[in-house]
Structure 1
Amino acid sequence: MSGLSPSVVDALAADLRSADYTTDGVAGLLGADAGAAFNRGLWWSALRVTERAGADQQRLAVLVRLFLLGADEPRNRVSLALPAAGVDAVLAAGVLEVTADGTLRAGLDIRPHSDGARDFLVISDLDAAQRPGPVHRDHVLGVGAASISLAHAVIRAPVGRALDLGTGCGIQALHLDAHCGEIVGTDTNERALALAAATARLNGMSWDLRAGSMFEPVAGERFDLVVSNPPFVVGAGGLDYQYRDSGLAGDALCQKLVEQVGDHLEPGGTAQIMANWIVRDGDDWRDRVSGWLADTGLHAWVVQREYADPVSYVSLWTSDAGELAEDAARRGGQWLDWFAEEGIAGIGMGMITVRAPRRGETRPPDRVLEEITGADEALTGPEVEAFFARREYLHDTSDEQLLAARLSTAPVFLEEQSLPGPDGWQAVGAAVRRPGGPGAVLGVDEVSRALLAGCRGEVPLGMLIELLAGVHGVDADALAAAALPVVREAIGRGILYQAQ
């Protein structure tokens, strides 16, 4: 990647910005319908719109066709679209390539990306959908579903030092830049580090990029925040593609990351890791990941978002690499044979968030491992931060203190399940759900429904329980003993909170 010199990157950045090659600029060019179709993977309508763009949007239209739609463009159009960089320079840098008929096409993927407040440019390799045939061994992924999920889940509180382990094209580092004083990015792939450096420069940023595996490039160093979207794919230990394969068999890479990350966290520091884990026949996935955490001393929230059977899992990754049908069939068959030999029933996919104890903290490690699969229950940074705050509150608050506290119920929905019977609909269950909260659902009975309805921050919990005991004709102490575990679970799920 020696052709991606600072001068080329700077000129390219100037051209892209001046053409309004941004998320808003592209959305405005495509319009709502073609833009929505493009986001679903249907490109023809977007191509049609760009071909009909007005004179004032011709530069943007050419850039969209090149870098987002994979189209070939005549040299004269590209020259007009990239006046500062120049065609010869971007060809020499590998940003563009010459086709057999003399037209130009993208050699790299450059696309706008936004965090909701700022607009970025991300440079990576073209994926299999834009370039026929399998990707190269040192292929560098761009903006993908896993990287977006991680970016949404990262806690955005300001910190001093952050580590992006397995930085790839630098997508996580882009998001970290707004709230981290210093960013260190590592990768085993030299091409990834070169493209990450280009991404940083395109956006006027500077990161400390280092080559090496696992925590070797940061030996002896500690960070306030560690994020990682590593090559977590579970396999026999090959290294076919660096972006997905670690060279370690099974889920050993994720295990090592979890076991070692605590040595690189400052007191109170957080690590957020995208991970895959093996689920063997008859085993509970929680037992496996709990074993990784056992000797770390870290607090943890582990969420399994998806579970894939071997065929689905292998099909996903052979398709992702763009392998030819016969090669995919051969490699996929070998992969499935290895799964069968290992007794692997499926693969769990999700996120592991760990937090180091604060300096002087004495509470035992607090760990929650759960399955949350709802499409509207994705992890977000505020929810992750709130989860750990709630767990700390529950540990620090005794039952007596809880009974003296004024609690409020968050905005929730009451959901009832009923079955038809001889006397009409008969209720068989009920739950309260906090919209948008991952795992924020709690089964309730008649008493706990009334208790949650009464928590409006006006009276202490103990007084409310006494009132309910009188209404239902039960002993107040017995009701308190039964209610407190439910109250604690509701607080843990953000359904109840202490009023100020």
Structure 2
Amino acid sequence: MDVTADRELCAALREDLREADYTAAAVRAAWGGIADDAIGRGLHGPALTALGDRTDALAVLARVFFLGTSAPVSDVDAALPRVGAAGLRALGLVSIDGGRVVPAALVRPQEFGDAAGSGLWWIASDLDEGALGGALPADHVLGVGGASMTLAGLQLPSFAGRVLDVGTGCGIQALRALRHADRVVATDVSARALQFTRLNALLAGADGRIDVRLGSLFDPVAGEQFERVVSNPPFVITPRVAGVPEYEYRDGGMAGDDLVAAFVTQVGAVLAPGGVAQLLGNWEYRGDEDGLDRVRGWVADSPVPLDAWIIEREQLDPLAYAELWVRDGGTVPGSPEYARLIEAWLADFAARGVTAIGFGYLLLHRPASGTPTLARYERVSQPVSKSLGEHLLAAVTAWERVSRMDDAALAASTLMVAGDVTEARHHLPGSEAPSIIELRQGGGFARTIEVDPALAALVGASDGDLPVGVLVAAIADLLEVDADALAADVLPRVRELLFTGFLAFTESAPTTSEVTHPDPR
């Protein structure tokens, strides 16, 4: 059934959902925490039991739109007085059979919050495996999942006039981008996904601000440029053999990690100078080749020079990776079909000598002028905040500033230790001096770094009062070491602490050595 984006019906549905208090918190309270956890595992029975025979608007909407079960037409009409069951059918969200409303899609509440405030959207998508009671169809349009929320939280909260959302799916990244943009172009290879994107844009009140276009990667925007590009692309590595489902929402139709490679090598052409691209992706480890080195090679192959910050969050072996995505498609573990698909995945990986698969975040930047200065490839496996956008923006801003500063300019700057940084000192029994000094970050990537007494002293003294150069000279005097040698050792590490967010600038600082260096005495 096609989904239709009718402006008047969507406005009516939005008002009905708001009046019914159809929110994530209200739904969760209606059936409780255990039932909510069960839904995440594809089990709807506990939630339906908890709702019992309730016929209030919230219960009816939770059954139909959250769980995908049928309800009497009279109950739906009462729950949605403006749009009614007939309006839902006109939108393509339900069918009506024998006096009952049969869901053709889910419409789930999605709460959001960022520096600009908080709000609520209702996001329509295809019925999930719990509602279908089996495997997903190949053209399934996914709702808001864990990866969607991860990328939404990574988006930089800074203004961008035009944003491109590649592989938009249900449109959640496009809506999130509109929080800090004038307009978004949303593309997808799935015509059905674009139907949902149009509908969700109207449900969110984003009339006319999202331009949807059909096509693969950057074909629909050839010759155009954007200040920001975001993408949760169909990066899942899928065997290219008969009998393996090719889900449009996760499979881009290319072998191995070629889709992410194509994105990285081609995105520079659609980035305006100074523009940033952010995406999620997988990359393979083949033989002795490090997966992050593969990504480094893709960046190097871009015809447009790019700064790159690549963060690997997880690494799976081929079996664990295959099990993850076979289960994701709704195939039951232990069944003959499950075993057949696992074997197909393992054979595909073996053919390329794949020993592991990495997953992570990619941030690519087209310099406004000059050559790239950032090439950071790292592994961050510890638990981190779900909303990293502000931290990423602060890091990129600090890097842009520091990259223009020589050591004299940095020494003339005053810095402040971040409010979430704590220090831990570890002593051997009976020892007065610490054997290990650690700085720990409470926010951002929750990094823990080991420092020496000199750097610990500098961080501890960074209260926005004295310039770095004065502090280094004082610490050198205290430790009875050469001040110039200490500065040469400490300043590169100060640059790193500024990028990672342990330290921050407190004022507008000069960027070249054309400054009067403070007398360190």
By the TM > 0.5 criterion, same fold?
Answer: yes
* Residues 341 and 427 (structure 1), Cα distance of their counterparts in 2 relative to 1, 3 Å cut: farther
Aligned residue in 2 for 1:414:
423
Aligned residue in 2 for 1:438:
445
1:66-113: per-residue Cα shift (whole Å, max 9, x none)? 2223444333322322333333453465423568x9754422110111
The alignment partner of 2:58 has SS state of helix
Checking the alignment, whether the CA contact within 8 Å between 1:234 and 1:278 is kept in structure 2 is no
Checking the alignment, whether the CA contact within 8 Å between 1:433 and 1:442 is kept in structure 2 is yes
Aligned residue in 2 for 1:90:
88
Q: Within 2, Cα distance between the matches of 1:425 and 1:316?
A: 50
The alignment partner of 1:396 has SS state of coil
Q: 2:458 aligns with which of 451, 454, 457?
A: 451
Q: Within 2, Cα distance between the matches of 1:38 and 1:418?
A: 48
Alignment gaps of 5+ in structure 1: none
Checking the alignment, whether the CA contact within 8 Å between 1:153 and 1:384 is kept in structure 2 is yes
Q: Which amino acid aligns with 1:337?
A: A
Checking the alignment, whether the CA contact within 8 Å between 1:165 and 1:214 is kept in structure 2 is yes
Shift of 1:416: 3.9
Aligned residue in 1 for 2:467:
460
Q: Within 1, Cα distance between the matches of 2:261 and 2:153?
A: 23
Q: Within 2, Cα distance between the matches of 1:465 and 1:225?
A: 39
Q: Within 2, Cα distance between the matches of 1:284 and 1:376?
A: 24
Computed over aligned residues only, the root mean square deviation of the Cα atoms, in angstroms, reads 2.6
The alignment partner of 1:122 has SS state of strand
Number of residue pairs matched by the alignment = 492
Q: Within 2, Cα distance between the matches of 1:253 and 1:425?
A: 56
Q: Within 1, Cα distance between the matches of 2:120 and 2:90?
A: 27
1:326 aligns with 2:350: no
Aligned residue in 1 for 2:365:
355
Aligned residue in 2 for 1:261:
267
Q: Which amino acid aligns with 1:4?
A: T
Range with greater deviation from structure 2 (23-32 or 61-70)? 23-32
Q: Within 2, Cα distance between the matches of 1:367 and 1:476?
A: 30
1:21 aligns with 2:22: yes
Q: Within 2, Cα distance between the matches of 1:108 and 1:210?
A: 22
1:272-328: per-residue Cα shift (whole Å, max 9, x none)? 111111112322222111111114311121111111111111111111111253222
Q: Which amino acid aligns with 2:478?
A: V
Q: Which amino acid aligns with 1:236?
A: P
Aligned residue in 1 for 2:515:
none
1:467-482 aligned at under 5 Å gives the runs 467-482=474-489
Q: Within 1, Cα distance between the matches of 2:17 and 2:505?
A: 50
* Residues 322 and 41 (structure 1), Cα distance of their counterparts in 2 relative to 1, 3 Å cut: closer
Aligned residue in 2 for 1:497:
504
Range with greater deviation from structure 2 (242-251 or 387-396)? 387-396
Q: Within 1, Cα distance between the matches of 2:427 and 2:257?
A: 43
Checking the alignment, whether the CA contact within 8 Å between 2:158 and 2:180 is kept in structure 1 is yes
Q: Which amino acid aligns with 2:230?
A: V
1:278-297 aligned at under 5 Å gives the runs 278-294=284-300, 295=302, 296-297=304-305
Q: Within 2, Cα distance between the matches of 1:403 and 1:96?
A: 65
Aligned residue in 2 for 1:170:
171
Checking the alignment, whether the CA contact within 8 Å between 2:280 and 2:362 is kept in structure 1 is yes
Range with greater deviation from structure 2 (290-299 or 250-259)? 290-299
Q: 2:379 aligns with which of 363, 371, 375?
A: 371
1:226-261: per-residue Cα shift (whole Å, max 9, x none)? 111110011334671111111110111111111111
Q: Within 2, Cα distance between the matches of 1:36 and 1:249?
A: 35
1:421-462: per-residue Cα shift (whole Å, max 9, x none)? 6x5899543320221122643311222212211222222222
The alignment partner of 1:317 has SS state of helix
Q: Within 2, Cα distance between the matches of 1:34 and 1:251?
A: 37
Checking the alignment, whether the CA contact within 8 Å between 1:441 and 1:493 is kept in structure 2 is no
Checking the alignment, whether the CA contact within 8 Å between 1:23 and 1:119 is kept in structure 2 is no
Q: Within 2, Cα distance between the matches of 1:274 and 1:190?
A: 22
Q: Within 1, Cα distance between the matches of 2:233 and 2:79?
A: 36
1:271 aligns with 2:280: no
Shift of 1:225: 0.9
1:397-433: per-residue Cα shift (whole Å, max 9, x none)? 11111222222211211134567x6x58995433202
1:16-55 aligned at under 5 Å gives the runs 16-26=17-27, 29=30, 46-51=47-52
Q: Within 1, Cα distance between the matches of 2:387 and 2:297?
A: 23
* Residues 424 and 51 (structure 1), Cα distance of their counterparts in 2 relative to 1, 3 Å cut: farther
Q: Which amino acid aligns with 2:263?
A: L
1:51-62 aligned at under 5 Å gives the runs 51=52, 58-62=56-60
Q: Within 2, Cα distance between the matches of 1:92 and 1:495?
A: 54
1:143-154 aligned at under 5 Å gives the runs 143-154=144-155
Checking the alignment, whether the CA contact within 8 Å between 1:23 and 1:112 is kept in structure 2 is yes
Q: Within 2, Cα distance between the matches of 1:335 and 1:313?
A: 9
Aligned residue in 2 for 1:113:
110
Aligned residue in 1 for 2:321:
313
Aligned residue in 2 for 1:203:
204
Checking the alignment, whether the CA contact within 8 Å between 2:417 and 2:463 is kept in structure 1 is yes
Checking the alignment, whether the CA contact within 8 Å between 2:105 and 2:124 is kept in structure 1 is yes
Checking the alignment, whether the CA contact within 8 Å between 2:67 and 2:130 is kept in structure 1 is no
Checking the alignment, whether the CA contact within 8 Å between 2:437 and 2:453 is kept in structure 1 is no
* Residues 64 and 187 (structure 1), Cα distance of their counterparts in 2 relative to 1, 3 Å cut: same
Q: Within 2, Cα distance between the matches of 1:396 and 1:26?
A: 51
Q: 1:484 aligns with which of 488, 491, 498?
A: 491
Q: 2:388 aligns with which of 371, 376, 380?
A: 380
Checking the alignment, whether the CA contact within 8 Å between 1:270 and 1:356 is kept in structure 2 is yes
Q: Which amino acid aligns with 2:249?
A: Y
Aligned residue in 2 for 1:245:
251
Range with greater deviation from structure 2 (136-145 or 373-382)? 373-382
Range with greater deviation from structure 2 (231-240 or 165-174)? 231-240
* Residues 41 and 449 (structure 1), Cα distance of their counterparts in 2 relative to 1, 3 Å cut: farther
Q: 1:235 aligns with which of 221, 238, 253?
A: 238
Q: Within 1, Cα distance between the matches of 2:45 and 2:127?
A: 18
Checking the alignment, whether the CA contact within 8 Å between 2:43 and 2:130 is kept in structure 1 is no
1:93-134: per-residue Cα shift (whole Å, max 9, x none)? 5423568x9754422110111222121110001221332121
Q: Within 2, Cα distance between the matches of 1:34 and 1:133?
A: 20
Checking the alignment, whether the CA contact within 8 Å between 1:409 and 1:455 is kept in structure 2 is yes
Q: Within 2, Cα distance between the matches of 1:31 and 1:322?
A: 25
Q: Within 1, Cα distance between the matches of 2:351 and 2:447?
A: 38
Aligned residue in 2 for 1:81:
79
Q: Within 1, Cα distance between the matches of 2:395 and 2:5?
A: 44
